[in-house]
Amino acid sequence: MNNLLNSKEMALFTKQGFLRFDEMIDTDLCKEFFSYMENPESKQYQPQGQLLWDVWDKKSSIGKIIHHPDMIKIIHSLVGKKPRYDHHFPHKTHPGKGLQHLHQDAEYDRRDHQFDIQISLYPQDTSLEMGGTRFLPSSHFRKVNEATIGRYQHIRGMQQMVCKAGTVLVWHTGLWHAAQPNISENKIRYMFKLRLNPMEKQQRLFDTSDLNDPEISKLLNQTYLWHGQSHRRELFNRIKFWRYISDQPDYDLDMWMTRNENSTHYYKRSQVT
């Protein structure tokens, strides 16, 4: 098994701003993880700025999850081998609680192409009624100011996490999202969140052996209905991001950037006859 995400998976991440891995963590480890989630001390931030791999004991349930081979694969491919621990939080939402306004976590992040990731782990079967995270695919390049988008309720293509235990959602910190209310009768919803910073250039951190697969340009070209009239501008966002993470400064789709960069001569008025 390859120990890195491939280029097609990274193109999918570029297009939609997240990757979903269903039932990645086995149910026994998920069950073991509940003792950590229920421990009030789990809510304490670890000292920020540490190397992730040093934060938790490898033998603890959270340590086993962080060091799970598939988790390492995801982390290495997106933020590199030396990820910095930013913060974490174990969410526990009782029935009748949990409604959040749509928001963006990292509006203050003004980096052009470098990005942090958030990892959300759902350690139990999460039904629609339990109110898993809702999010808007392909919103990650839109810098808005935190919950100024709070009045947006329904946007075409929005998704909500409904999943089996052990499912992991890995997302770009620019993705618009919110917790849904827990409207179940008696099920507490659990979700563990971890944010990581890259500590190296996020270029070609993934498996690039399929970099020339034609499927990649198809993925990057796909439209979202909700982009409406801004679809072309979203393509520019994707091309710039893909150029950076794949280290292909001349990469383009249908010549969109090439046209824009075709800065020709500017004739002096006297030269125009």
CB of 215 to another protein, least distance (A): 25
Q: How far is the CB of 11 from another protein (least distance, A)?
A: 19
DSSP 258: H
**Footprint of another protein (CB under 8 A):** 99, 134, 141-144, 148-149, 151-156, 158-160, 178, 180-181, 183, 225-226, 228-230, 233-234, 236-237
> For residues 53 and 236, which CB has a smaller minimum distance to another protein in the complex?
236
Q: Which of 151/268 has CB closer to another protein?
A: 151
Helix (H) or strand (E) holding 231, with range, is helix 231-245
Encoded tokens for 219:
């993925």
Two tokens at 120? 């959300």
Cβ proximity of 38 and 123 under 8 Å: no
CB atoms inside a 10 Å sphere around CB 62: 22
In this complex, which beta carbon is closest to another protein, that of residue 43 or of residue 233? Answer: 233
Q: For another protein, which is the closer residue by CB, 123 or 137?
A: 137
Q: How far is the CB of 155 from another protein (least distance, A)?
A: 4
Tokens of 169: 């959602």
Tell me whether residue 118 or residue 182 sits nearer to another protein (CB atom).
Answer: 182
- State which residue, 90 or 132, has the beta carbon closest to another protein: 132
Residues ≥6 apart with Cβ < 8 Å to 44: none
- In whole angstroms, the minimum distance from the beta carbon of 31 to another protein comes to 29
Beta pairing, strands 159-160 & 134-135: antiparallel
Would you tell me the crossing angle of helices 231-245 and 7-16 to the nearest 10 degrees?
A: 140
What kind and span of H or E run contains 66?
Answer: helix 61-66
Smallest gap, in angstroms, from Cβ of residue 83 to another protein?
28
Q: Which of these, 56, 42, 91, 88, lies nearest to 195 by C-alpha position? A: 88
Shortest reach from residue 204's CB to another protein, in Å:
26
